[in-house]
Amino acid sequence: MAPIKIALVGIGKIVRDQHLPAIAKNSDYQLIAAASRHGTVDGIDNFKSIEAMLDAVPAIEAVSLCMPPQYRYEAARVALDAGKHVFLEKPPGATLSEVADLEALAASKGLSLFASWHSRYAPAVEAAKSFLATTTIKDVQVIWKEDVRHWHPNQEWIWAAGGLGIFDPGINALSIVTHILPRPLFVTSAVLEFPENRDAPIAANITFTDGQKLPVAAEFDWRQTGKQSWDIVARTAAGEMVLSEGGAKLSIDGKLVHEEPEQEYPMLYRRFAEIVKAGKSDVDLAPLRHVADAFMLGKRKFVEAFHD
Ligand code: NAP
């Protein structure tokens, strides 16, 4: 089959770090254009807006939308209306309803919509899921603590309403948890800490359970300096499972049982090509739904102002 002619929109950190190398190494794709207000990609046609790009380059078959979530819906609608398949960076949108609208639009036009969750493709995630399927889980603790100044310098959108704050990384944890646990979860309580000068939280403590009363607790915090933590710990009848480093390593009772080189974005692009070829969409909103529920049910605390 001929490669999918793809374009990138919103040229920033994640495009340069991950999308460009993943597309370059995958013969299922030919990158032919980019649209961004300021950013450009060498060696292809660049445009200031998605509208200008789609008008000028009708050969585009698919777009990856990599701008912040608050601006993704409009671009996705323009692309779907123009008959293009759409890859959405995570989180897929700023609200649940707008993503549902895109899903219906894609279905009505016979196009593929991909709500990508890169952390689900971390190397040890499938091994963790398989392990948990074979045992009884007693409880689960999710600890996602990182230094926002290191990982998100000068990203104003992340602190604006709809930017999700600490849930920008926290939703990666939720994308793993919702994939590896055997039953759907729901939020039972949440406390969100908002810097007094920001519209998005810097920390969140959330409890969840499921239909069989499994206790699941998540601690998300952006004020972590020194060692960073991206761990999911499950106490089970077969021992303590630790899925660490954002899903890269799996240990059972302290023994490392799975570790492989990270391939998250190459796997995302493989999956996107697969759904385009199969003529279907892949849109799981569970991680975003839990974030929405935490905002809906959560108590709010105001904490010290945050300055970069
Ligand atoms: P970023 O570099 O701050 O933003 C990406 C690009 O979006 C910017 O370069 C900008 O390009 C465009 N943009 C910014 N504000 C915009 C606005 N108001 N309207 C339209 N376009 C705007 O962000 P990023 O780190 O790449 O993250 C983008 C998305 O990828 C987020 O949803 C994030 O959660 C996800 N992601 C990021 C990482 C990471 O490590 N950074 C990892 C995985 C996923 P122009 O100014 O040229 O238009």
Same structural domain, 160 and 296: yes
Q: Which residue's CA lies nearest to atom 19 of ligand 1? A: 71
Structure confidence at residue 1 (pLDDT)? 78
Pocket test for ligand 1, best of 11, 14, 50 (most atoms within 8 A of CB): 14
Tokens matching residue 148: 């926002």
Mean per-residue pLDDT of the chain: 98
Q: Is 144 a domain residue?
A: yes
pTM: predicted TM-score of the whole model, two decimal places: 0.98
The radius of gyration of the chain's CA atoms, rounded to the nearest angstrom, is 20
Q: pLDDT at position 250, please?
A: 98
Distance 67 CA to ligand 1 centre (A): 4
Residue ranges lining ligand 1, Cβ < 6 Å? 10-14, 36-39, 66-69, 71, 89-90, 118, 155, 157, 168
Same domain, 92 and 135: no
4 Cβ neighbours under 8 A, 6+ residues apart: 28, 29, 30, 61, 62, 85, 273, 276
pLDDT for the residue numbered 266: 98
Nearest protein Cα to ligand 1, atom 36: 14
Residue closest via CA to ligand 1's atom 38 equals 14
- pLDDT score, position 207: 98
Q: Compute the distance from residue 224 Cα to the ligand 1 centre, in Å.
A: 23
Among 84, 115, 146, where does a domain finish? 115
Nearest atom within ligand 1 for CA of residue 155 = 3
Same domain, 188 and 91: no
Mean pLDDT, range 198-220, rounded to an integer: 98
Q: Give the rounded distance of the alpha carbon of 176 from its chain centre.
A: 10
Question: Are 52 and 149 within one domain?
Answer: no
CB distance 110 to 279 below 8 Å: yes
Q: How many angstroms separate the alpha carbon of residue 245 from the centre of ligand 1?
A: 23
Edge-to-edge, what's the strand order for the sheet holding 239-244?
255-259, 249-252, 239-244, 229-236, 137-145, 216-221, 203-210, 185-195, 299-303
Note the pLDDT tens digit of each residue in 260-288: 999 999 999 999 999 999 999 999 999 99
| Residue 97 shares a structural domain with residue 53 | yes
Statement to judge: residues 79 and 124 lie in one domain: no
Instruction: Give yes or no for residue 216 having a pLDDT over 90.
Output: yes
State residue 126's pLDDT score.
98
- How much distance in Å is there from the Cα of 1 to the middle of ligand 1? 31
The set of catalytic residues is 90
- 286: in domain: no
Could you tell me which of 111, 270, 95 has the C-alpha nearest to residue 103?
111
Q: What is the mean pLDDT of residues 108-137?
A: 98
Q: Is the pLDDT confidence value at 186 over 90?
A: yes
Q: Reply yes or no on whether the pLDDT at 171 is more than 90.
A: yes
Q: Which residues contact 170 (CB under 8 A, 6 or more apart)?
A: 144, 164, 204, 218, 220, 291
Q: What is the CATH number of the domain that holds 213?
A: 3.30.360.10
Do 96 and 192 lie in one domain? The reply is: no
Residues 156 and 12 placed together within one structural domain of the fold: no
CATH of residue 9: 3.40.50.720
Shared-domain flag, residues 41 and 127:
no
Minimum CA distance residue for ligand 1 atom 37: 14
* Parent domain of 257: 119-261+292-303
Ligand 1 atom index nearest CA of 15: 26
Tell me the mean pLDDT in the region 281-302.
98
Expressed in angstroms and rounded, the spacing between residue 88 Cα and the centre of ligand 1 is 12
- Write down the pLDDT at residue 43: 96
Q: Which of 16, 47, 66 is the pocket-test mutation for ligand 1 (most atoms within 8 Å of CB)? A: 66
Angle, CA of 228, 234 and 237, to the nearest 5°? 155
Determine the Cα–Cα distance for residues 189 and 208; give it in Å rounded to an integer: 7
Residue 83, amino acid: G
Q: Which of 90, 115, 140 is the last residue of a domain?
A: 115
The answer to whether residue 121 scores a pLDDT higher than 90 is: yes
Mean pLDDT along residues 43-60: 98
Given pLDDT bands bounded at 50, 70 and 90, which one contains residue 122?
very high
Count of structural domains, the chain: 2
Q: φ and ψ at 118, to 5 degrees?
A: -60, -35
Share of the chain above pLDDT 90, in %: 99
Give, using CA atoms, the residue closest to atom 4 of ligand 1. Answer: 12
